[in-house]
Amino acid sequence: MNARPDTTPDERRTVKVSKYLSKHLRHQPDRIGITLDTNGWVPIDELMHAAARHGFPFTRAELDHVVAVNDKRRFTIDGARIRANQGHTVEVELDLPQAEPPEYLYHGTGPRSLDAIRAEGLRPMNRHVVHLSPDRETATRVGARRGRPVVLSVRSGAMHRAGHVFQVSANGVWLTSAVPPQYISFPTS
């Protein structure tokens, strides 16, 4: 993603630090020599030292700022440790409690994925669970990352009543193992 021309150097730095954290707390901790515990946590000092050794130093103030201003609330700091709230491709157990979802949740995707979703439903793909948004606006932003967004409505209440398990992350993203096609409403146009 290229920086918008109206962003300041501080805003661009915040985005760079956020992307760096996402990459290493969700997908490639071993790339910089850190090990996440079973719940995805890593000591902040260990993360910062590893990042500096890897050629990407940042300050504790920058880290705190990224966590505080991230519009998707991707990270949580708990004392002297940090973790990503969801979206991992590495094996972690976020230890989130089961939750009863609202009647409808939403999933943003692109047009080229629709045939597969119609046939197979929503699958985790390279993640461990399917991510669902609590509102259409968020799902639209998620889908826009893949071009023209398509927002699917998921009958999550009916899924829950049928025995499907849901969890909700600290940043409001709903998680479930898969969504069978019969619970998905597709746009007509």
Strands 75-78, 81-84: pairing kind: antiparallel
What CA–CA distances, in Å, run from 39 to 21, 124, 127?
16, 19, 15
User: What does the longest C-alpha to C-alpha distance in the chain come to?
Assistant: 52
Q: What pTM was computed for the model?
A: 0.76
* Domain covering 105-185, topology: ADP-ribosylation fold (3.20.170)
- The pLDDT of residue 1 is above 50: no
Any idea where the domains of the chain sit in the sequence? 9-84, 105-185
CATH 3.30.450.40 describes domain 9-84 = no
Q: Output b/e per residue, 124-133; b: 16+ Cβ within 10 A.
A: eeeebbbbbb
pLDDT tens-digit profile of 101-137? 999 999 999 999 999 999 999 999 888 889 999 999 9
